[in-house]
Structure 1
Amino acid sequence: MTTEVPSGPVARRLSFLDRFLPVWILIAMSVGLGLGRLLPGLGNALVEVTVTGISLPIALGLLVMMYPVLAKVRYDRLDTVTRDRRLLIPSLVLNWIVGPALLFALAWIFLPDLPEYRTGLIIVGLARCIAMVIIWNDLAGGDREAAAVLVALNSVFQVLAFSLLGWFYLSALPGWLGLEQATLDVSVWEIARSMLIFLGIPLLAGFLTRHLGEKAKGRTWYEAELLPRIGPFALYGLLFTIIVLFALQGDAIISQPLDVARIALPLLMYFALMWAGSMVTGRAVGLDYPKAATLAFTAGGNNFELAIAVAIATFGATSGQALAGVVGPLIEVPVLISLVYVALAARRFFPQPAPAVGPAVSPEGNARV
Structure 2
Amino acid sequence: MTTPPSTPDTTEQKAIGIFERYLSVWVLICIVLGVAIGKYLPVVPQTLSKFEYAHVSFPIAILIWLMIYPMMLKIDFACITDCFKHPKGLSVTLLTNWFIKPFTMYLFALLFFTVVFRNFISPELGKEYLAGAILLGAAPCTAMVFVWSHLTKGNPGYTLLQVAINDLIILVAFVPIVTLLLGISDISIPYDTLFLSVLLFVVIPFLAGFLTRRHYIRKNGQIRFEKEFLPKFKHITVAAL
Would the TM-score normalized by the shorter structure come out above 0.5?
yes
Correspondence list, 1:119-198, <5 A: 119-128=127-136, 133-141=141-149, 143-168=159-184, 170-171=185-186, 184-198=187-201
Number of corresponding residues = 221
Of 103, 111, 127, which aligns to 1:97?
A: 103
Residue 214 of structure 1 corresponds to 217
Correspondence list, 1:45-64, <5 A: 45-64=47-66
Contact 2:71–2:143 (Cα < 8 Å) also in 1: yes
Residue 18 of structure 1 corresponds to 20
Residue 227 of structure 2 corresponds to 224
Distance 1:202 1:129, change over 3 A: farther
Distance 1:140 1:91, change over 3 A: same
Provide the rounded CA distance (Å) in 2 between the counterparts of 1:144 and 1:188: 31
Contact 1:137–1:144 (Cα < 8 Å) also in 2: no
1:177-212 per-residue CA deviation (whole Å, 9 max, x = no partner) reads: xxxxxxx22233321111011111111111112111
- Report the CA distance between 1:70 and its aligned residue: 1.0
- Report the CA distance between 1:108 and its aligned residue: 2.8
- Report the CA distance between 1:80 and its aligned residue: 3.3
Contact 1:129–1:151 (Cα < 8 Å) also in 2: no
Q: Secondary structure at the match of 1:134?
A: coil
Contact 1:65–1:237 (Cα < 8 Å) also in 2: yes
Q: Could you tell me the percent identity over the aligned residues?
A: 21
Provide the rounded CA distance (Å) in 2 between the counterparts of 1:23 and 1:111: 25
Provide the rounded CA distance (Å) in 2 between the counterparts of 1:146 and 1:68: 17
Contact 1:103–1:125 (Cα < 8 Å) also in 2: yes
Of 184, 199, 202, which aligns to 2:202?
A: 199
Contact 1:131–1:199 (Cα < 8 Å) also in 2: no
Is there any run of 5+ residues in structure 2 with no aligned partner, and where?
1-6, 151-158
Of 66, 69, 76, which aligns to 1:67?
A: 69
Is there any run of 5+ residues in structure 1 with no aligned partner, and where?
172-183, 239-369
Contact 2:171–2:203 (Cα < 8 Å) also in 1: no
- Report the CA distance between 1:127 and its aligned residue: 0.9
1:303-334 per-residue CA deviation (whole Å, 9 max, x = no partner) reads: xxxxxxxxxxxxxxxxxxxxxxxxxxxxxxxx
User: After alignment, is 140-149 or 227-236 more displaced?
Assistant: 140-149
Provide the rounded CA distance (Å) in 2 between the counterparts of 1:134 and 1:6: 19
Provide the rounded CA distance (Å) in 2 between the counterparts of 1:138 and 1:215: 25
Contact 2:70–2:237 (Cα < 8 Å) also in 1: yes
Provide the rounded CA distance (Å) in 2 between the counterparts of 1:132 and 1:47: 27
TM, length-normalised to structure 1? 0.53
- Report the CA distance between 1:66 and its aligned residue: 0.5
Provide the rounded CA distance (Å) in 2 between the counterparts of 1:31 and 1:126: 24
User: After alignment, is 16-25 or 100-109 more displaced?
Assistant: 16-25
TM, length-normalised to structure 2? 0.78
Of 35, 54, 77, which aligns to 2:37?
A: 35
